Amino acid sequence: MRRRNLGDLTLIRDKVLDHAELREGESVLDVGCGEGMIAFGALERGAGEVVFSDVSSDLLDFCRSAACELGVSDRCRFVQAAADDLAGIDDASIDLVTTRSVLIYVARKREALREFARVLKPGGRISLFEPINRFAMRDAETWWGYDLSAVSREAAKLRAVFDVLQPVDSDPMLDFDERDLIRLAEEAGFFPIHLVLEVDVKQSEPRSWDAFINMAGNPNIPTVAEAMAEGLTPPERERLTAQLRPQVEQGLGEWRMACAYLVGRRLVATPDSS
């Protein structure tokens, strides 16, 4: 699953950089850089300087070490900052801002887009990738696309574990769709804007049960196994497993996913950041 996920992330990285039309020698700010997949990809494509920005000092240390090993430290800068407050990055100093699944963690998305515009040179670009998680939401009888109507009580208790951590009505992962991204980019002073929406609705692929239950949907929530241990009694876990495991292993669920690639150009004059 790690190898498959890495392959998927590589495709996303390439699309983000392809859409950006990165030119040799340009400066790039990778917001929420994580382990640096987009940032290092930009260096490979000839970026003059890449700013690695993330809220995590551990991830920035990882990227700093990787840059040393690759011999590209002289073209890298590392800034610990949140997407909605890029303090430490000068106004109009960057040619391209990129993200990969960053705004879904940001409650203040409007402020983040305005920060992107602030640090960009006039005519600079954004190239963003964001999942549209709202699209995947279904009814109470399904969970991750699997039918749990036969164990609805156990399913409700399992769902409650996650709802406490990420309430549906206030979760930044669910408070926007592709139309909101366009609106926020326009309000921040980007024009023209181009958005590509990719949607998949298909049958789930068969998965290893052990891999499935030991996976977390995002970094802010527990794994399935941890949530089952927290929210269910042993008999309840057995009943839910008996219903869910065959569907996971045989690929009997429905996979729904939408994601948006947005590119935009900063106008010469941008709206007042206040």
pLDDT tens digits, 13-37: 999 999 999 999 999 999 999 999 9
Confidence of residue 271 (pLDDT cuts 50, 70, 90): low
Q: Helix, strand, coil: what percent of the chain each, to 5?
A: 45, 25, 30
* CATH fold group of domain 2-133+174-201+256-266: Rossmann fold (3.40.50)
User: What pLDDT score does 57 carry?
Assistant: 96
Confidence of residue 52 (pLDDT cuts 50, 70, 90): very high
Q: Give Cα separations from 159 to 121, 125, 228 (angstroms).
A: 45, 39, 10
Q: Order of strands across the sheet with 190-203?
A: 76-80, 49-54, 27-31, 94-100, 120-131, 254-266, 190-203
Q: 142: closest CA among 253, 30, 260?
A: 253
Confidence of residue 2 (pLDDT cuts 50, 70, 90): low
pTM over 0.85: yes
CB atoms within 10 A of CB 52: 28
**In the predicted model, what is the mean pLDDT of residues 209-235?**
93
Tens digit of each residue's pLDDT (9 = 90 or more) over 83-117 = 999 998 999 999 999 999 999 999 999 999 999 99
DSSP codes, 38-60: HHHHHHHTT-SEEEEEES-HHHH
Delimit the domains of the chain by residue range: 2-133+174-201+256-266, 138-166+205-252
User: What pLDDT score does 127 carry?
Assistant: 98
Confidence of residue 141 (pLDDT cuts 50, 70, 90): confident
Q: Give Cα separations from 192 to 7, 153, 156, 175 (angstroms).
A: 31, 49, 45, 24
The token duo for 7 is: 């392959």
Q: What is the 3-state secondary structure (H, E, C) of 186-246?
A: HHCCEEEEEEEEEEEEEECCCCCHHHHHCCCCCCCCCCHHHHHHHHCCHHHHHHHHHHHHH
At what angle are helices 224-231 and 234-250 packed, to 10 degrees? 150
Confidence of residue 274 (pLDDT cuts 50, 70, 90): very low
Length of the chain as a residue count: 274
Q: Are strands 27-31 and 254-266 parallel, antiparallel or unpaired?
A: unpaired
- What is the CA 273 to chain-centroid distance, rounded? 25
SS3 (DSSP) at 126: strand
